Amino acid sequence: MDWFTIYLPIAGIHFNVLVLLLIGFTVGVCGGFFGIGGAWIVTPALNIFGFPMPYAIGTDLAHMGGKSIVSTIRHGKFGNVDLKLGVSMIVGTTVGMELGATLVMALERAGLAESYIRIAYIIFLTAIGSYVLHDYIQHTRRQRMPVAQSGAAVPAESFAQRLQRVHIPPMIHCPASGVTCSLWLPVLVGLTTGVVAAVLGVGGGFIRMPALIYLVGCPTAVAVGTDLFEVMITGAYGAFTYGVKGRVELVAAVWMLLGAAVGAQLGTVAVKYVRGYSIRLLFAMTIFIACTSVVLKQLEFQVASSITILTAGVAISGVILWWLVQGVRAERRARRSGSELGF
Amino acid sequence: MNRNDPCATAVWRRAMHVAGIVAGVVWTHAVLAAPAKPATKLVNVADTRDMLPGFSRWLADVYNESLWSYGALVVVTMVVMGLGLGLVADRLVGLLGIDLGKLKHHE
């Protein structure tokens, strides 16, 4: 298959263009739908196909910046990006990432970084995945109960609502998410997720998206859009620092971005047809698969770990595209009959 | 484009067929491109000896001359491509007859 093989001079390897397009497309669909960067798919995928690890990370960050712009434009038009919230979080995220990086350096000096970080990652992913899944099950049960039994008329106050009631000036109103809270809430959420993201060595979408829902109180679609705005900023910053260190293969990033642009657009549009809680369910499943992959890596099953994550990425994007097709069909039917949409 | 227009349905159906064929071809090639052992590269020098003049060669030259310029080039390329592709892809999805207006949030 030499027709599609190109020479990548920076990484110093030959690579199949179609593989780059496929990786880009898959991560574009997942990223646009969940509001994540997708480093957990791209980095092992590039590495397993022959990229040296630092180049895999740098190239992933570079294409992530471009791909997030594509998704953020679409989410912005849908009204899913809360700029005020996003900008407030950037300050906390930046400081948090620096603090996290300092902590990692300290662990590295003590010779504990590798195993401690991986174990922290497993615990964190399990906790987030379990909570999101628990929330989905509770929600489904409430939906199935008659109104009188479930108490749906007076819904219980959520943790996010309790946090919103803390009046520490200055207070801000975020119109897209409909949240009024102390400025310190998004700053602290950004700080915490920044520390965790830097310690775990990830972009942070996995942590920030549920944090926006459960701590700030955003609707799911706005959490996805606002998180992508953050990913766009961190992706651009990461692309620059890795570029200056000479660890970005720009030709590969360009090809991946071509695939990702189409995937991101489709993944983002799919959000329109899916109810917030269905996004949360698929997100929880994705987290568990990512967690399984890290466990396999910890047990030194490197190939099994990479294959698990790759297969999962393709399967999840398949589910999202299926929902998109079903949604478009339902929309066409609904236009004729005037009924409501959403899975 | 009229969204109830049968032409829009035909465009959508045709697009799905083309997407299916493209996905099949890409998948086959991806499976045939056997996973390789990760390479190692320790020095920041791009080997341009066998490269013909073109975009890749130019990038490699920028990389060899100044990593700061290369870092800036990476960011500018991704931002310009992201904006351009975002707008183009937006128009293409609009052509499929999907309503891309403001979204109502339903949990």
Residue A36: pLDDT over 80: no
With respect to residue A342, please indicate whether it lies within any of the assigned structural domains. no
Residue B68 is inside which H or E element, if any? Answer: helix B67-95
> Which among A248, A290, A207, A284 has a CA at the least distance from the CA of A36?
A207
A170 prior amide bond cis, ω within 30: yes
**Does A343 map to a domain?**
no
Give the Cα separation of B47 and A11 in Å (integer): 10
**pLDDT at A257 > cutoff 90:** yes
CA distance A260 to chain B (A): 10
Q: Is residue A224 part of a domain?
A: yes
Identify whether A240 is part of a domain: yes
Nearest to B85 among A79, A257, A336 (CB): A257
> Which residues have CB under 8 Å from A114's CB, separation 6+?
none
Q: Which residues of A touch B78 (CB under 8 A)?
A: 62-63, 65-66, 69, 235-236, 239, 253, 257
Nearest CB among B29, B30, B107 relative to A275 is that of B107
pLDDT tens, residue by residue, A161-187? 888 888 888 889 988 888 888 999 999
Domain residues for A242?
2-145+154-337
pLDDT in tens, B10-28: 666 666 666 666 666 665 5
Give pLDDT, residue B16: 63
Lowest mean pLDDT among A144-153, B28-37, B82-91: B28-37
Domain count of the fold of chain A: 1
Tens-place pLDDT, residues A41-75: 787 778 777 788 778 888 888 888 888 888 888 88
Tokens read off for A52: 């040296």
Q: Which residues in A lie closer than 8 A to residue B106 (C-beta atoms)? A: 275-276, 342
- Interchain CB distance below 8 Å, A239 and B74: yes
What pLDDT sits at residue A174? 87
Distance CA A131, CA A195 (A): 20
Q: What interface predicted TM-score (ipTM) does this complex get? A: 0.77
pLDDT at A187: 92
Higher per-residue pLDDT: B38 or A246 = A246
**B76 pLDDT above the threshold of 70:** yes
Residue B95 near chain A (CB below 8 Å): no
Residue A82 with chain B: CB contacts under 8 Å: none
Q: Are A88 and A233 in contact (CB under 8 A)?
A: no
What residue in B sits closest to A220 (Cα-Cα)?
Answer: B107
Confidence of residue A98 (pLDDT cuts 50, 70, 90): confident
